[in-house]
Amino acid sequence: MLARQADPIAAIATAPGRGAVGIVRVSSPQDLVPLIRAVCGRDLKPREATYLPFRDASGAPIDHGLALYFPAPHSYTGEHVLELQAHGGAVVMQLLLARVIEAGAAVRLAEPGEFTQRAFLNGKLDLAQAEAVADLIDASTEAAARSASRALGGALSHEVGVLRDQLIQLRMLVEATLDFPEEEIDFLDKADAFGRLDRLTAQLSAVQARTRQGALLRDGLKVVLAGQPNVGKSSLLNALAGAELAIVTPIPGTTRDKVSQTIQIEGVPLHITDTAGLRDDTADEVERIGVSRSWDAIGEADVVLFLHDLSRVGQADYEAEDERIRARLAGVEAHRIVQVFNKTDLGTPPTGEIALSLKTGEGLAALRQRLLQTAGWQAVPEGLFIARERHVQALARTAEHLALARTIAEQRDAALDLLAEELRLAHDALGEITGAFSADELLGVIFSSFCIGK
């Protein structure tokens, strides 16, 4: 995609289907005046909406609508941009797009995300802001949309920029000491290297915590309901979703495959999956496949709700099967498993465990809060920005390099070259977030996930 950056591009910028208004967008590093005259029949004043007919090659109107021209660099992409707003019918949009490609010199159809990629390459957005564009479009909750808007406004970029500036100052001092050893200055003491590193690490830790929150807000939490047949998994799914999604009967093995639903708690998306009851003694081939898929889902879950039926506690066969499940769950990290005891109206739960009655709704609120707690979620601060796992990993690498730098700094001046290298690597890791240091392959992956026209 990068090799074709000089091409004029065009695309339908509105969602497919029927609508009151549809938009065809054109961006080009070259002059768009000939194209404007061919399609609009006249010149356009910059940044002023003009109502006129959009004409085909013979001069006949395709439709009437608004045309807006944004000369470079004052546009979304930083290039010359033309937007044609017509009636939002699919045929009209295709006719208008075809006319633009026909009338423009070497105009081609834009690839997914290419308009935003050009905005990034032309310095209109950094990479974190560009990703926030897609996150804002894809936001599934109000909290996610507001946080994506903050990221688009530069909240994450600002946090990274503050860290970067402090790291640059520290690098400058180290590099100066390496370049002028005859000065014999005691860098570690006079430059307060330990203090600078400690303050930088503390600030980085705070940004990491906020970024993990933002990633959770974007990606959500994968929650799997597990347990023996008829312990209330399907009823719990229905209760959390507030709808009758799964069939509930007293017949064991009713659920034979995964049933999933996304809900939100305090703005955090939770992807809830009900699974087939876990048992080894079924003769039903379909149910055996369902049980196998249940274990696969458990292995991929962020949180596993292990349900128990209080009305059957004490029954030898039930207890034996629960023990077999516990033994197999031993391979799952303990913090990912939440013990949930259902039917408090028919039995007494162990002290300190999550207990609920799906018949009365008792305990559901506590379970919701436990899910958020397990996810590491805190009450949404006003300035929270949305983030991606890529950002979380880049900050983690930055922290690792700073920790190594701290260890090296304790060895005094003999290891200053190694200290300088670790600080450089930390700087590079930070730069990956905003795109200061990004491979073309990474850019291709990021922008290919956008919709066409954006």
Residue ranges for the binding site for Mg(2+)?
234, 255
Rg (C-alpha) for the chain, rounded Å, is 29
- Strands of the 259-265 sheet, one edge to the other: 259-265, 268-274, 221-226, 303-309, 337-342, 354-356
Name the binding residues for GTP: 230-235, 249-255, 274-277
Annotated binding site for (6S)-5-formyl-5,6,7,8-tetrahydrofolate: 25, 83, 124, 454
Angle between helices 127-138 and 155-179 (to 10 degrees): 160
Q: DSSP E strands: which ranges in 227-327?
A: 259-265, 268-274, 303-309
In this structure, are residues 23 and 83 in contact, taking their beta carbons and an 8 Å threshold?
yes
- Location of structure tokens 């349900």: 307
Give the separation between CA 275 and CA 256, rounded to whole angstroms.
Answer: 7
* Paired strand residues for 28: 80
Task: Point out the annotated binding site for K(+).
Answer: 230, 249, 251, 254
Task: Indicate the annotated binding residues.
Answer: 25, 83, 124, 230-235, 249-255, 274-277, 454
